């Protein structure tokens, strides 16, 4: 199994071990500093910590941790140029599988500008992007994202994450992959399964988004187990459990 969106820097080694023992062999960790920071060098240190330290921590517990790095909208108050310079280096050296997570939260001018710039970098370097959608005003923000996205990048390079039953209809006809976050404060496994039941398994990725907030590191295997229990075809389950992620991220 592959957990396609988590925040390893906020979790313990014991979580990694628990995930591995439950059948998660690979996970994609994303950048997110949970509060506004005064200088871009603090953010750069955060990104380097994920890349150089958290990958090693995870490996010690059996988990193959792939990395996505970028400027989360929460951190869009920083001067982005130093981060962008490093993004090019990380992409060129194949150290990251995507730019992420990026996106919009409060629709500020800074958020929108930095989001567009990162989409342009992804388009220029043929990179994947992991796009955040917020808890509040999700439909409003998602529709702004869907308007901006095709102006800057091919939609098939993007996964729009934290999709739920209320907004899935807005995004289902795009070329984007869609991330289903099974997390106590976002969506439960039965809601995720209801989306798969209605729209099929081709366009979706499963993730836990474990972070500093209330999370369940085993939400992906629990959702897969429920799909098995309900009798879905093995070939369909394998798509959201691992195959879609392998193809999208090329991992």
Q: Where are the domains of the chain?
A: 2-249
- Contact assessment for residue 227 and residue 180, using Cβ atoms and an 8 Å cutoff: no
Please say whether the beta carbons of 109 and 78 come within 8 A. no
Structure tokens, 184: 């106590």
Give phi and psi for 21, each to the nearest 5: -65, -25
Q: Which fold has domain 2-249?
A: TIM Barrel (3.20.20)
Asked if the bond preceding 155 is cis, omega within 30° of 0, the reply is no
Per-residue confidence at 57, pLDDT binned at 50, 70, 90? very high
Cα-based distances in Å from 23 to 86, 119, 161: 33, 33, 22
Here the tokens at position 250 are 């090329």
Cα separation, 205 vs 3, whole angstroms: 8
pTM tops 0.85, yes or no: yes
Structure tokens at 65: 């941790």
The reported pLDDT for the residue numbered 38 is 81
Does the pLDDT value for residue 35 go beyond 80? Answer: no
Structure tokens at 60: 């010690």
User: How confident is the model at residue 33, as a pLDDT?
Assistant: 86
Q: What is the dihedral of CA 84, 245, 48, 210, to 10 degrees?
A: 120
- pLDDT tens digits, residue range 67-86? 999 999 999 999 999 999 99
């Amino acid at each position: 199994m592959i957990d396609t969106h988590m925040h390893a820097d906020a979790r313990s080694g014991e979580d990694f071990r628990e995930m591995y023992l439950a059948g998660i062999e690979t996970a994609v960790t994303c950048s997110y500093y949970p509060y506004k920071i005064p200088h871009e060098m603090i953010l750069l240190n955060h990104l380097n910590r994920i890349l150089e330290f958290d990958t090693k921590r995870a490996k010690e517990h059996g988990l193959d941790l792939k990395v996505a790095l970028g400027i989360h909208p929460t951190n869009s108050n920083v001067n982005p140029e130093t981060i962008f310079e490093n993004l090019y280096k990380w992409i060129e050296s194949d150290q990251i599988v995507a730019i992420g997570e990026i996106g919009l939260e409060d629709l500020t001018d800074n958020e929108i500008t930095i989001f567009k710039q990162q989409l342009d970098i992804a388009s220029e370097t043929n990179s994947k992007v992991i796009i955040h959608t917020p808890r509040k005003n999700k439909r409003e923000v998602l529709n702004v994202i869907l308007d901006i996205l095709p102006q800057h990048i091919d939609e098939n390079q993007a996964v729009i994450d934290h999709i739920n039953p209320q907004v899935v209809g807005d995004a289902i006809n795009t070329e984007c992959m869609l991330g289903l976050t099974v997390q106590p404060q976002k969506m439960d496994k039965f809601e995720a399964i209801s989306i798969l039941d209605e729209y099929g398994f081709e366009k979706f990725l499963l993730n836990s988004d474990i972070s500093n907030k209330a999370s369940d590191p085993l939400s992906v295997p629990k959702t897969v187990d429920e799909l098995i229990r309900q009798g879905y075809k093995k070939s369909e389950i394998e798509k959201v459990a691992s195959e879609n992620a392998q193809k999208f991220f090329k991992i």
